[in-house]
């Protein structure tokens, strides 16, 4: 097991990364206090709830809430159900919310913990690769509004993050690969050594070899921890974590969230952002080919579908939260391992959107 300490405004918390952690009572118990509310979804509960039972047996006052699975349920109504359970549990200020699941469960449970009695403890137990390398670390919590993703939320740091790599063995192939896109992102924006390591270990990642996975998750969490420690509330470098996301979100929205996994859309977005970086002469020629090659080896998509309307994507990109004074601001590469926030004219962006 490896441990990374994440510093934040209110203190610090550990992220444990290893195998068999859901069954490791000594690790889990030390982060629980008061009454316990476990929140999960039906898929994850069926697979992993039993492994947690020994760690919860010493806590008399506990409840569990299994919320329906899927992004469409990441709503104020589901958040309300978590709050209702905390009230029914008579949870006090020392209570702990235990979030067992992917990013949807983690974000909602974290947001309920942020709001109940103005903030109680939350322990994140992420079970998807995306949640392990991104969503569970850094304290962003929230739910969707009918008019937009993650429009309602709060920063609320977890008390601990417990990453059991064994859970990745049951993850659906597309969800697994979508998580790999975020892993590649860390190498691309701030860690050229890690990018080269990913190139050397693509086959191990495809085969989900435990030691390879442990290193990939550990290096991703280390990178994320460094970014959020430096800029917890996203006033500066945390925005770099959005590499590929402005293009990606536009593509997800244009296809009503029904075609692409988030990580797949981000993979395409990272390629477009790198192509634009090359077009603008910010990055060495051939950088985009290098990124495309790695993403293809990880079986991720690297191009927009031919029938995607560039004007629609551009319209959607204008709605991005990073924009200022009507200018689209993108994360572009200066090299593999170095990125910047850059205001970009629409005509330049159109160059890479046209098929
Ligand atoms: P998800 O939580 O919907 O999980 C995907 C699917 O995998 C679900 O059907 C789930 O039941 C299933 N699943 C989970 N773990 C499993 C396992 N071990 N084995 C088998 N099936 C399993 O999706 P996600 O990709 O984990 O998370 C996406 C969410 O994360 C989005 O809502 C996004 O906004 C959020 N997010 C948040 C942050 C943040 O910083 N807070 C960062 C990135 C993404
Ligand atoms: N997933 C982007 C962030 O945590 O800032």
pLDDT at 327: 84
162 and 228, same domain (yes or no): no
Average pLDDT over the chain, rounded to whole? 95
pLDDT tens digits, one per residue of 284-337: 999 999 999 999 999 999 999 999 999 999 999 988 776 666 789 999 999 999
Residues present in the chain in total: 355
pLDDT one digit per residue (tens) for the chain, 355 residues: 999 999 999 999 999 999 999 999 999 999 999 999 999 999 999 999 999 999 999 999 999 999 999 999 999 999 999 999 999 999 999 999 999 999 999 999 999 999 999 999 999 999 999 999 999 999 999 999 887 788 899 999 999 999 999 999 999 999 999 999 999 999 999 999 999 999 999 999 999 999 999 999 999 999 999 999 999 999 999 999 999 999 999 999 899 888 999 999 999 999 999 999 999 999 999 999 999 999 999 999 999 999 999 999 999 998 877 666 678 999 999 999 999 999 999 999 999 998 7
Beta strand spans in the chain (E): 2-8, 11-18, 36-40, 62-66, 96-101, 121-126, 140-145, 148-155, 160-164, 328-335, 338-344
User: What's the rounded Cα separation, in Å, for the pair 175 and 8?
Assistant: 29
Q: Which of 103, 124, 137, 140 to mutate to test the pocket of ligand 2 (most atoms within 8 A of CB)?
A: 140
Q: What is the pLDDT of residue 325?
A: 62
Provide the CATH number for the domain around residue 300.
Answer: 1.20.1090.10
269 shares a domain with 142: no
Q: Known catalytic residue: 245? A: yes
Crossing angle of helices 173-190/287-297, nearest 10°? 150
**Annotated catalytic residue within 74, 121, 144, 182:** 182
- 3-class SS at 46? helix
Q: Tell me the percentage of the chain whose pLDDT exceeds 90.
A: 92
Q: Which ligand is nearest to the CA of 163?
A: 1
Which of 145, 170, 195 is the endpoint of a domain?
170
Pair (164, 218) in one structural domain: no
- Check which CATH number belongs to the domain holding 126 and give it: 3.40.50.1970
List pocket residues of ligand 1, CB cut-off 6 Å. Answer: 41, 43-44, 47, 69, 71, 74, 101-105, 107, 127-128, 130-131, 134-135, 138, 140, 150, 167, 170-171, 175, 262
Do 153 and 27 share a structural domain? yes
Q: Do 130 and 7 sit in the same domain of this protein?
A: yes
Bridge-partner residues for 142, per DSSP? 153
User: What pLDDT sits at residue 256?
Assistant: 86
Q: Which of 215, 232, 234, 252 is catalytic?
A: 234
pLDDT at residue 170, rounded to an integer: 98
Please say which residue of 139, 170, 201 terminates a domain. Answer: 170
Residue 166 sits in the same domain as residue 178: no
Name the active-site residue from 190, 245, 261, 329.
245
At which of 148, 170, 192 does a domain end?
A: 170
Q: What is the whole-number distance in angstroms between the Cα of residue 101 and the centre of ligand 1?
A: 7
My answer on whether 257 and 202 are in the same domain is yes
Structural domain of residue 55, as residue ranges?
2-170
> Are 165 and 196 found together in one domain?
no
| Distance from C-alpha of 210 to C-alpha of 214, rounded to nearest angstrom | 6
Helix (H, G, I), strand (E, B) or coil at 218: helix
What is the pLDDT at residue 85?
98
Nearest atom in ligand 2 to 224's CA: 4
13 with 62, same domain?
A: yes
Counting Cβ atoms within 10 Å, is residue 57 exposed (0-12), middle (13-18) or buried (19+)?
A: exposed
* Same domain? 162 vs 181: no
Could you report the per-residue pLDDT of 238-276, keeping only the tens digit for each?
999 999 999 999 999 899 888 999 999 999 999 999 999
Residues contacting 338, CB < 8 A, separation 6+? 189, 190, 192
- Domain identity same for 221 and 132: no
**Is residue 284 flagged as an active site residue?**
no
Same domain (yes/no): 144, 231: no
Task: Report residues whose beta carbon is within 6 angstroms of any ligand 2 atom.
Answer: 134, 138, 140, 238, 241
Number of folded domains that form the chain: 2
């Amino acid at each position: 097991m490896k441990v990374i300490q994440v510093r934040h405004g209110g203190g610090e918390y550990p992220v444990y990364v290893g195998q068999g952690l859901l069954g490791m009572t000594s690790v889990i118990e030390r982060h629980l206090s008061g009454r316990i509310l476990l929140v999960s979804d039906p898929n994850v509960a069926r697979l992993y709830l039993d492994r947690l039972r020994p760690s919860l047996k010493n806590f008399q006052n506990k409840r569990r809430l299994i919320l329906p699975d899927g992004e469409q349920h990441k709503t104020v109504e589901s958040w309300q159900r978590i709050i209702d359970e905390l009230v029914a549990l008579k949870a006090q200020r020392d209570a702990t919310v235990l979030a067992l699941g992917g990013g949807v469960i983690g974000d909602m449970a974290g947001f309920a913990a942020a709001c109940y009695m103005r903030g109680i403890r939350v322990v994140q137990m992420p079970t998807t690769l995306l949640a392990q390398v991104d969503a569970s670390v850094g304290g962003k919590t929230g739910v969707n509004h009918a008019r937009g993703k993650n429009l309602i939320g709060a920063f609320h740091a977890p008390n601990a993050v417990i990453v059991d790599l064994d859970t990745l063995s049951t993850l659906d192939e597309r969800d697994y690969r979508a998580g790999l896109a975020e892993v590649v992102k860390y190498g691309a924006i701030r860690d050229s050594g890690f990018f080269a390591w990913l190139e050397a270990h693509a086959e191990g990642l495809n085969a989900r070899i435990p030691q390879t996975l442990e290193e990939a998750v550990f290096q991703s969490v280390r990178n994320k921890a460094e970014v959020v420690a430096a800029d917890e509330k996203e006033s500066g470098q945390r925005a770099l974590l959005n590499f590929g996301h402005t293009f990606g979100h536009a593509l997800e929205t244009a296809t009503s969230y029904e075609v692409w996994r988030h990580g797949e859309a981000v993979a395409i977005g990272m390629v477009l952002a790198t192509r634009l970086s090359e077009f603008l002469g910010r990055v060495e020629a051939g950088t985009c080919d290098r990124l495309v090659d790695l993403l293809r080896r990880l079986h991720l998509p690297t191009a927009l579908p031919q029938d995607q309307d560039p004007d629609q994507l551009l319209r959607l990109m204008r709605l991005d939260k990073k924009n200022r004074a009507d200018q689209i601001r993108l994360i572009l590469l200066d090299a593999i391992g170095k990125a910047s926030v850059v205001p970009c004219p629409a005509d330049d962006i159109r160059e890479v959107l046209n098929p």
